[in-house]
Amino acid sequence: MYLKKLTLKGYRNYSDAEVTFSNQINVFLGENAQGKTNIMESIYVLAMTRSHRTSNDKELIGWDQDFARVAGTVEKSSGEYPLEIILSKKGKRAKLNHLEQKKLSRYIGHLNVILFAPEDLSLVKGSPSVRRKFLDMEMGQMSSIYLYHLVEYQKVLKQRNAYLKQHRKSGKLDQTYLSILNEQLAAEGAELLAQRFSFTRRLENWARPIHSDISQGKETLTLEYASSFSVTSETDKKQLMNDLLKQYKKHEQREKEQGTTLYGPHRDDIRFFVNEKNIQTYGSQGQQRTTALSLKLAEIELMNEMTGEYPVLLLDDVLSELDDERQTHLLKTIQDKVQTFLTTTSLDGVKKELLHHPRIFNVRSGQIEMESE
Rounded to the nearest 5°, which phi and psi values hold at 264? 140, 175
* Residue 30 known to bind ligand: yes
Give the CA count within 13 Å in the CB-facing half-sphere of 279: 25
232 close to 240: Cβ distance less than 8 angstroms:
no
User: Binding residue per annotation — 35?
Assistant: yes
Measure the CA–CA gap between 196 and 202, rounded to whole angstroms. Answer: 10
Which residues on adjacent β-strands are paired with residue 343?
28, 316
* 286: number of Cβ within 10 Å: 13
Task: Enumerate long-range contacts of 125-128, CB under 8 Å, 24 or more apart.
Answer: 125/280, 125/288, 128/267, 128/268, 128/269
Tell whether residue 32 is among the known ligand binding residues. Answer: yes
Alpha carbons 371 and 361: distance in angstroms, whole number: 6
Determine contact, residues 10/69, Cβ cutoff 8 Å. Answer: yes
User: Does 26 appear as a known binding residue?
Assistant: no
How far is residue 312's CA from residue 189's CA, in Å, rounded to a whole number?
30
Q: Is 291 among the annotated ligand-binding positions?
A: no
Q: In angstroms, how far is the first alpha carbon of the chain from the final one?
A: 23
Q: Is residue 264 marked as binding?
A: no
- For residue 302, give every residue at least 6 positions away whose Cβ sits within 8 Å of its Cβ, in sequence order, or none: 142, 202, 203, 206
Phi, psi of 272 (to 5 degrees): -120, 135
38 is in an annotated binding site: no
Q: Exposed, middle or buried by CB within 10 Å (0-12, 13-18, 19+), for 168?
A: middle
Known binding residues for ATP: 30-37
Known binding residues: 30-37
